[in-house]
A and B are shown apart, each in its own frame.
Chain A
Amino acid sequence: MCRQLMWWTGLLVGISILLSGCNGAKELDQRANVIAIGLDTGQQEGMFTVSYQLAIPKGESKGEGSEEAVVLTNTAASIAEARNLLSSEVAMQPVLAHAKIIVIGEALARKGLDKILGPFMRYREYRGTMYVVVTRGTAKSFFEQNKPAFVASMSKFYEQKLANGEEAGYFLSTTLHQYYARLKSNSGQPYMTFVAINPMTGEGHISTSKATGDKLDGYNAGDIPRQGGNAVDFAGVAMFDHDKMVATLSTTEARMLSMVLGRYSSGFIVVEDPLDSKSAVNVSLRLGSKPKISVTLVEGKPMINVHILLEGEITSIASGIGYEQGSQLDILEDQINKTMQQQMINMIKRTQEYNVDVAGFGYYLRPAFQSNKEFDDYKWNEKFNQAEVNVEVNTQIRRTGLMIRTVPIE
Chain B
Amino acid sequence: MKAYHVGKMGIAEGIALVFGLVIPHLFLSRLADVIQENGQLSWLTMSFYTVISLVVLFMMVYVIHSVPGDFVTVCQQLVGNLGAWLIVIVYICLFFANSSLLLRQYAEYTLITALPKVNFQLVIVWYALTTGIMCYLGIEALCRTGYILLPFMAGGLMLVCVMVSPFYVAYNLTPWQGNGIQVAVQSGIKGVGFNIGVLSLVFLSSAFQNGKTIKKIALYALGGSLVLRITFMLVYTMVFGVAIGSEKVMPFFELARLVYINQYIQRIEALFIVVWVFIGLLAIASSLYIGLYLITVLLKLPTMRPIVPLGVMAIAQFSMLPPDIGYTIYVDRLMLQVSQVGIYLFPGILFIMALVKKRRKKPCADS
Contacts and interface: CB of A to CB of B under 8 A. Distances in A.
Nearest to B253: A124
Contacts of B266: 129
A16 to B, nearest CB: 14
A367 B174 contact: yes
A370 interface: yes
B114 to A, nearest CB: 9
Interface in A313-355: none
B141 interface: no
Interface residues of A, number: 30
A182 to B, nearest CB: 9
B257 A127 contact: yes
B258 A372 contact: no
Interface in B78-119: 112-113, 115-118
B171 A128 contact: no
Interface in A7-61: 24
A185 interface: yes
A371 B41 CA distance: 10
Contact of B243 (A163, A184, A369, A370): A184
Given A124-B112, A129-B257, A181 B175 contact: no
A370 B240 CA distance: 20
Contacts of B40: 372
A369 B175 contact: yes
Interface in A65-82: none
A370 B257 contact: no
B258 A185 contact: no
B179 A371 contact: yes
A181 B180 contact: no
A181 B244 contact: yes
A187 B263 CA distance: 31
A129 B239 CA distance: 13
A371 B178 contact: yes
Given A180-B244, A181-B241, A184-B244, A364 B171 contact: yes
Contacts of B243: 184-186
A124 B116 contact: yes
Contacts of B118: 24
Nearest to A130: B260
Contact of A372 (B116, B117, B171, B179): B179
A388 interface: no
Given A128-B258, A370-B177, A24 B115 contact: yes
Nearest to A160: B263
A24 to B, nearest CB: 6
A329 B183 CA distance: 58
A371 B254 CA distance: 26
Interface residues of B, number: 34
A372 B169 contact: no
A177 B117 contact: no
Contact of A363 (B169, B242, B254): B169
B132 interface: no
Contacts of B174: 366-367, 369
Contacts of B113: 124
B178 A181 contact: no
Contact of B175 (A163, A180, A371): A371
A372 B244 CA distance: 14
B227 to A, nearest CB: 25
A379 to B, nearest CB: 15
A268 interface: no
A374 interface: yes
A62 interface: no
Nearest to B41: A371
A120 interface: no
Nearest to A128: B258
Nearest to A372: B39
Contact of A128 (B112, B179, B257, B262): B257
Nearest to B167: A177
B194 to A, nearest CB: 22
B258 A374 contact: no
Interface string A167-200: 0000000010110110011110000000000000
A278 interface: no
A368 to B, nearest CB: 8
Given A124-B113, A185-B243, A372-B242, A366 B171 contact: yes
Contacts of B258: 127-129, 177
A187 B169 CA distance: 11
Interface in B237-265: 240-244, 247, 254, 257-260, 262-263
A181 B169 CA distance: 10
A175 B260 CA distance: 11
A373 interface: yes
Contact of B117 (A24, A97, A124, A181): A24
Given A184-B244, A185-B243, A159 B171 contact: no
Nearest to A123: B112
Contacts of A184: 241, 243-244
Contacts of B327: none
B152 interface: no
Contact of A129 (B39, B171, B260): B260
A372 B246 CA distance: 14
A276 B180 CA distance: 60
A181 B240 contact: yes
Between B40, B175, B259, the greatest number of chain A beta carbons within 10 A of the residue's beta carbon is seen for: B175
Contacts of A366: 171, 174-175
A369 B40 CA distance: 13
Contacts of A374: 175
Interface in A122-139: 124, 127-129
Interface in B141-189: 167, 169, 171-172, 174-180
A159 B260 CA distance: 11
B276 to A, nearest CB: 15
A188 to B, nearest CB: 10
Given A97-B267, A124-B112, A370-B177, 4 more contacts: A163-B262, A186-B243, A366-B175, A372-B39
Closest 8 CB pairs of A and B: A363-B171, A366-B174, A184-B243, A129-B260, A367-B174, A369-B175, A370-B177, A371-B177
12 contacts: A24-B115, A128-B257, A129-B257, A129-B260, A156-B263, A177-B258, A363-B172, A364-B171, A370-B175, A371-B175, A371-B177, A372-B40
